[in-house]
Amino acid sequence: MQSLNISSAALRSVQQALDTTANNLANLDTVGFKRRTASFSELLFDSMNEQPAEDRQRTSPPGLRIGSGVRLGMTKLDLSQGSAKITEIPTDLMIEGEGFFGVSRLTRDPDTNELREEIRLTRNGGFQIKQSPEYNQYALTTANGDYLVDESGVPILMDNPGELKITPEGRVLNDGEEIARIAVWKVDNPDQYRQVGENEFLLTPGQPVTNFALSAATIRQGALEASNVDLQQEMAQLINTQRAFQLNSRAIGITDQMMGVANSLRSR
């Protein structure tokens, strides 16, 4: 029966929407996390346009539309600004506006043992000053050990960490001496951001990246950006999605009963 196909397709889509909401709730307190919203797309449908007689009372278009259900079309990334958490820690940074911090991840090739660099993007500005074993200098790193890069994509390094001051324009001052400039990176299409875990993003290969440090964003020192997940909104979405799951589960149960009745009638 068509209702069985429609309900089973809807159950798969609703389950994926539940997973999206659960991921948002799990990262409610994750610094710089950006929530995702699920959107659905209609599957193929048939239109039966032939009618035995014209219905003068009908206000909808003529014909009978028989659908095949829905699927999860995409999960859209919500890049709205999160609230500020004041920490007064000099290495805690927050982007006020659009864009991401660029961080460099170094990995070793298992075959050649050579270092490979991968640039990732993140809104988590909880950096630390650590001594780098690769560069033999002090560097600003994430909790995962990724290096914060400047506007040229080079890790920000210092010989001796002193009094650190970062201006809203991204200028990094160590004991009053400018050593680098932090960039704020952004692409025009948010759907090009691909989550790779650890609250970091990669870009689709070939996607141009632009430095918007002076135009679309400023950097705030001594503060972190909270997650933009709204607990009340997510709980309301969770309830609606659970009701849709229950409705389609009930539809499958009723369809199974109808098929059982049909089989019993044919056997007589």
The pLDDT, as a whole number, for residue 27 is: 93
Evaluate if residue 252 carries a pLDDT over 60. yes
Residues 204-240: tens digit of each pLDDT: 665 556 666 456 789 999 999 999 999 999 999 999 9
Residues 108-140: tens digit of each pLDDT: 777 777 778 888 999 999 999 999 888 899 999
Evaluate if residue 50 carries a pLDDT over 70. no
The pLDDT, as a whole number, for residue 85 is: 94
The pLDDT, as a whole number, for residue 178 is: 92
Query: 208-213: long-range contacts (C-beta < 8 A, 24 or more apart)?
Result: 209/185, 210/185, 210/186, 211/151, 211/183, 211/184, 211/185, 212/97, 212/98, 212/99, 212/184, 212/185, 212/186, 213/99, 213/151, 213/169, 213/170, 213/181, 213/182, 213/183, 213/184
Evaluate if residue 145 carries a pLDDT over 70. yes
Separation between Cα atoms, residue 18 and residue 164, nearest integer Å: 44
Q: Name the average pLDDT for the chain.
A: 84
The pLDDT, as a whole number, for residue 1 is: 62
Query: What are the residue boundaries of the structural domains of the chain, listed by start?
Result: 2-49+61-79+229-266, 84-225
Separation between Cα atoms, residue 183 and residue 217, nearest integer Å: 10
Separation between Cα atoms, residue 250 and residue 256, nearest integer Å: 10
| pTM assigned to the model | 0.78
Least confident piece of the model among 64-78, 172-186, 224-238: 64-78
Evaluate if residue 163 carries a pLDDT over 70. yes
For residues 190-199, average pLDDT? 82
For residues 25-36, average pLDDT? 93
Query: 200-206: long-range contacts (C-beta < 8 A, 24 or more apart)?
Result: 200/103, 200/120, 200/121, 200/122, 200/146, 201/100, 201/120, 201/121, 201/122, 202/118, 202/120, 202/121, 203/121
The pLDDT, as a whole number, for residue 63 is: 64
The pLDDT, as a whole number, for residue 86 is: 95
